[in-house]
Structures are given as C-alpha cells and as structure tokens.
Chain A
Amino acid sequence: MYIHKKTAGDWAFDIVNTLLMLALVFVTLYPMYYVLCASVSDNTYLVAHPGVLFRPHGLTFGAYRMTFEHPLILSGYRNILLILVLSLPLNIVMTLFCGYFMAAKKMLFKKYIVVFMMFTMFFSGGLIPAYLNQRSLGLFNNIWALVIPGALSLYNAIICKTAIEAIPEGLTESAYIDGANDVIILFRIVAPLIMPTMAVLLLYYGVGHWNNWFTASIYITDNNLLPIQNVLRALLIANTDVLGSGESVGDQYDSYAETIKYAAIIVTTVPVLCIYPFLQKYFVKGVMIGAVKG
C-alpha cells in the first residue's frame, strides 16, 4: 500500500481551502446572526446605527411581543397555517397517486399519460394565460386560489416514483394475491415503506407554500387573506404596490418600527431552518434523482 506524505503544496492547499470554507460559513451565517441581534436590540439605537452588529445593543423582547400582537402578522400566520393544513394532505395524496402510477408496470396507456404529464415540464401557458384561467375558474381572492393550483409538483412525483420503484416487487405482489387492491397497497404497504421520501416531499411542499409570496400577490386582493410572506413583504420592502406599510400599522408599533422587522423575520424563518438539517441526508438523495430524470 502506497502511503502518501503531505507535501508543502498540499499543506498550503489545505490551509487556503479551510479558510475559504470558514469564509463561506461566515458569509452564510452572519446575516441570520445580524437579524437575531437586531431583533432584540434597542429600536432607537438600531435606527441610528443600522450597520455592522456583532452583539445586541440593549436587550428587549418588545419587538417579539409586538410581532405577536400585530393584526396582519397574526392573520398572515393564520392564513399560512390554513394553507398548509389544506395543501399538504392534498399534495401528498396527489403525489402518491402520480408516483404510484408512473412506477406501475404492464399498463397499456401509461406511456401516453406520462408523456402528457411530462410535456408540461417543458412548455407552459405562461403567466397571463394562467392568471386568466385561474380567474375564470373562480380561484381568485380566496384561500383555494393558493391551494388547488399548487396541488401537485411533477418533479416531486418523479422523486416519489423512484422511491416506489426501489420497493421489492414481491411485497406488493403478495398483497395482490391476498386480494388487496391498489389503493390499499399504496396506503398500507407502499407509503409506510417510503416514509423518508415522504418526509422530504412534505418539506419541499411545505417550504414551497411557506415561502411563496408571488401567487398571493396576484390572486389575493383582500389584506386579511394574505399569507405571512406577503405581510413580511409589506413590512420589509414596502414597495409602491400592495398594502402601504403605514396603513395598517398603528402608533403603538412606532417604538419598535425597525426591530419588529427583524423579529418578524426570526419568527417566520426559524421554523424552517430548524427542520431541514434533520432531513438533509434524504433530500440529498432526492436532488440526485430529480437531476438524473430532469
């Protein structure tokens, strides 16, 4: 066995590489650290010094209290939770149906139906026809406008299909012989066996809904129906359209006008950031599948 000795060049390479990686970690984490510090800092200080922060200035949780009293943030939270409760079961059932069908063998029309579905990955009607279509279907300015059009992602269905294909055929075949139909097999045998994949798909769909603001910005006109990201947008970016941030934010918020932004970022982003590391090893697999088939 050949044993490699580190040369001077190798040492230099390792040191530079480690430093680069540390720089990446810093650049990635610092913005979130900044947000954390800013959210508990004193509002007056932050307004005067919005620059580099390495520790909180002052320590107050008033901004968090305000966040949980802010009517639009509360309704935004309520709306996004409602969207998740309505969407995720629908997403999972549709994805399982689609994935199970694509993984099936010996079906006459499977090929045509798969081509029919795959075509939509390469060509779509575009923004305006989709918008007019959705309005004509009545999916406008109600919660269903944010649920039904996002019922299925074909990309996720392909990940699901690949996971189903990895199940030994004997398992499903013996269930057939025992008289089970496909629906029973799918929910009693297949779904429990692909639990890790399902968890990742739940993460993908969940994060997709949670972080989506564009759909609501064009299909929802009633402020009380806006999900959390749209409220954040009004709060953080205050662009010319959508609700002017001053309109619904009362005087009592003025003393936290700046820090409440950061507190709102923390309460909307941290839930997602706490979940993904646990699913990391599974979604890495998912990305590989998606890319190979994509």
Chain B
Amino acid sequence: MPKRAAKRPVGQILIRDFQQNKWKYLMILPVVVYFILFAYKPMYGIIIAFKRYRPTLGIWGSPWVGFEQFALFFKDVYFWRLLRNTFSISGLSILFGFPAPILLALLLNEIRCSWFKRTVQTVSYMPYFISVVVMCGLLKAFCQTDGVFNDLIAAFGGARENLLSVKDNFYAIYVGSGIWQSIGWDSIIYLAALSGIDQQQYEAARIDGAGRFRQMISITLPGLAPTITILFILRMGGILSVGYEKILLLYQPLTYEVADVISTYVYRKGIIEANYSYSTAVGLFNSVVNICFLALTNAISRRVSETSLF
C-alpha cells in the first residue's frame, strides 16, 4: 500500500489524504486556530523585548532598541536580589519538596493493611484540590500572633510574633506549604512506578535475610530511579519558574527583600506599572535560563544514568 502510494503524483496523494480525513482536519482546525491565537501570537509579541513598545504604535511599529531592555535589567538595583531569591526559593523547594513525595510513596508502599493505605492516600490528595487563595488565607490566619502556629511555638517556649512579616520565616512557610499541598498528589506517579517492580526480587531478598527497611533501600528505591531521574530533569527545567501565585498572595513589603522573585517582578513591572517592553525582556531572560537548565540537566543525566528526556 505505501509503495503504490509513493508512485502516484504528489497532488493526487494530497487530495486523497484530505478526502479520507476531511472530518479529522475539520476537527483539528479550531484547535490549531486556538494555538495560533493564544500560543503563537504571544510568541510573536516577544519581539517587544527588543523594542521600546508604545501601545499606540503597535508591536511592529514601535522602535527597535536591540538589547537595551536586557542591559537595563542587568543593571537594575534589584537584579541580584531577584536572582538570589529565585534560586533560593527554587533550590529549597527542590531540596525539600522533591524527595518528600518519594519518601511518602516508599512509606505508603510498606503499609500492608489495604484500607488504611487507601484512606491515607485519599486524604493526602485533598490539599491538591484546595485553591491557592484558600491555602494562603489559612496560612495568614495560622501565622498571626495569636494563631495556631504561634500556639505551638509558645507551647515549646518560643516568643509569639506575626510569622509572615518576619523575613527569616518566608522560605520555610513557602516550602512547607508547598509540600503540604502537593506531597500526596506527586506521590501518585511514584506509587504507579512501584507497582512495576518485580515481586520476586523481594522474595529473594527475604530469603537472604533482608529486613523491610533493607528491602526498601536496596530494591524499591533503585526500582524508582528512572522515574525519579525523569521528574528531576523536568523539575530542573523549571528552576526559575517559581510559582508567582503563592508569592503574590503571601508577600508584603516587609518580606520583599527575600520573597520578590523574577516572576513577581515581571508581574509588578508589566501588569501594575505597564512597563511592557522591560517586563517582557525580564520574562524572556527567565525562559531562556530555564531552557538552558533543562538542557544541561538532561545532558548530565544522559551521561551519568542513561536516562534522559530527549
């Protein structure tokens, strides 16, 4: 069949393809239009990062300025602060947030009583369905001077203070609430990978006298390694994409010093101050660094573990 098709003229092949798949092409048409309008048109809009954009002149009509906006950003008084905060928040989230669901999956996997395991799982997914606004609202209430967290601190003899307005607490609150919200949901993928591990390995290990903890370290964890690697590469690709939603809801001028990151800066400069070209340049810098990190982690992983994304 393909051989015969290859001999026919190109035009005839095209017509046949369109006739046969007419409805499928018609179906994908609105989808393609959607992507052009809401994904590719904004990509074209990136060129304002190299221009001095004036809404009245339009994207194409505004004057070119080359890399002036980027130069401004690198000289910005906040540049180092933004970079430091972004890397700190992201780094801490990876350091604590990335292993947490793996640990949960390992522990869940060791529960023999199936109804208890199911219940814990169902409960652990719950925070994922709670909106960021509600979570941050609760954090704000729990962090106030007479709030729940301060009751706990006072019980251990600490001093009460409004936790959210203390700079040193911001990262702990950010990373901790992130783990609370996603530990259960993120563990799903690892649990799925666990079900693929050959049960005979465990039996063999038991015969050799390995205890439960030993089996977890020597069989389960290596069985998860490929999944962990892939998710780690993906996670590194987002090193500079610190979610701005939670920060926008939680930070206050008192904590800007540690909490202001590139994406919240883009939001303030662009949406609030209407400094469009500058904020687009900052955003583009962010995306480029992200792609570099994704490629770098991928390359390292391909060398070291032979697992890679592409």
In contact, B231 and A291 (Cβ under 8 angstroms) = yes
Return the chain B residue nearest A288 by Cβ: B192
Tell me how many residues of B have a C-beta within 8 Å of chain A.
98
C-alpha spacing A13/B23, complex, angstroms:
59
C-alpha spacing A87/B32, complex, angstroms:
18
In contact, B24 and A28 (Cβ under 8 angstroms) = no
Which one, A27, A52, A128, A182, contacts B270 given CB within 8 A? A128
Return the chain A residue nearest B276 by Cβ: A128
Given A50-B146, A239-B249, A287-B189: A127 touches B270 (CB 8 Å cut-off):
yes
In contact, B148 and A125 (Cβ under 8 angstroms) = no
A200 beta carbon closer than 8 Å to chain B: no
In contact, B249 and A237 (Cβ under 8 angstroms) = yes
In contact, A127 and B266 (Cβ under 8 angstroms) = yes
Return the chain A residue nearest B283 by Cβ: A126
Q: What are the residues of chain B within 8 A of A101 when measuring CB–CB?
A: 24, 27-28, 31
A113 beta carbon closer than 8 Å to chain B: yes
C-alpha spacing A94/B191, complex, angstroms:
31
Which one, A120, A210, A237, contacts B39 given CB within 8 A? A120
Return the chain B residue nearest A236 by Cβ: B137
C-alpha spacing A264/B125, complex, angstroms:
22
A269 beta carbon closer than 8 Å to chain B: yes
Render A229-250 as a binary contact track against B, CB cut-off 8 A, 1 for contact. 1101101110101000000000
Render B36-63 as a binary contact track against A, CB cut-off 8 A, 1 for contact. 0111111111101000000000010000
- B contact face: mostly helix, strand, loop, or mixed: helix
Q: What are the residues of chain B within 8 A of A2 when measuring CB–CB?
A: 203, 206-207
In contact, B39 and A125 (Cβ under 8 angstroms) = yes
B307 beta carbon closer than 8 Å to chain A: no
C-alpha spacing A158/B180, complex, angstroms:
28
In contact, A125 and B30 (Cβ under 8 angstroms) = no
Render B257-283 as a binary contact track against A, CB cut-off 8 A, 1 for contact. 000000100110011100010011001
A284 beta carbon closer than 8 Å to chain B: yes
Q: What are the residues of chain B within 8 A of A236 when measuring CB–CB?
A: 133-134, 136-138, 140-141
B213 beta carbon closer than 8 Å to chain A: yes
In contact, A232 and B133 (Cβ under 8 angstroms) = yes
B116 beta carbon closer than 8 Å to chain A: yes
A111 beta carbon closer than 8 Å to chain B: no
Q: What are the residues of chain B within 8 A of A7 when measuring CB–CB?
A: 211
Q: What are the residues of chain A within 8 A of B144 when measuring CB–CB?
A: 50
Return the chain A residue nearest B149 by Cβ: A51
In contact, B131 and A213 (Cβ under 8 angstroms) = yes
- Tell me the total A-B contact number using a CB cutoff of 8 A: 258
In contact, B137 and A182 (Cβ under 8 angstroms) = no
In contact, A237 and B276 (Cβ under 8 angstroms) = no
CB distance from B149 to the nearest CB of A (A): 9
Report B274-295 residues with CB < 8 Å from chain A CB. 276, 279-280, 283-284, 286-287, 291
Which one, B32, B133, B192, contacts A233 given CB within 8 A? B133
C-alpha spacing A7/B25, complex, angstroms:
64
Q: What are the residues of chain A within 8 A of B287 when measuring CB–CB?
A: 123-124, 126
In contact, A133 and B31 (Cβ under 8 angstroms) = no
Report A1-26 residues with CB < 8 Å from chain B CB. 2, 4, 7, 9-10, 13-14, 17-18, 20-21, 24-25
CB distance from B52 to the nearest CB of A (A): 14
Which one, A18, A31, A120, contacts B35 given CB within 8 A? A120
Q: What are the residues of chain A within 8 A of B108 when measuring CB–CB?
A: 21
Q: What are the residues of chain A within 8 A of B234 when measuring CB–CB?
A: 294
Report A192-230 residues with CB < 8 Å from chain B CB. 207, 210-211, 213-214, 218, 229-230
Which one, B125, B136, B266, contacts A128 given CB within 8 A? B266
Top-5 shortest CB links A-B: A125-B42, A236-B137, A129-B45, A182-B23, A211-B131
Could you list 8 further interchain pairs (A-B, Cβ under 8 angstroms) beyond the known A9-B213, A183-B27, A239-B248? A24-B123, A29-B126, A124-B43, A126-B266, A133-B45, A181-B23, A213-B133, A232-B137
List, sorted by A's number, 9 A–B pairs whose CB atoms are closer than 8 Å.
Answer: A28-B180, A94-B31, A120-B35, A182-B21, A183-B27, A233-B133, A265-B138, A272-B129, A291-B192
Which positions in A face B, CB cutoff 8 Å?
A: 2, 4, 7, 9-10, 13-14, 17-18, 20-21, 24-25, 27-29, 31-32, 34-35, 49-52, 94, 97-98, 100-101, 104, 106-109, 113, 116-117, 120, 122-134, 137, 149, 151-152, 181-183, 186, 207, 210-211, 213-214, 218, 229-230, 232-233, 235-237, 239, 241, 261, 265, 268-269, 272-273, 276-277, 280, 284, 287-288, 291, 294
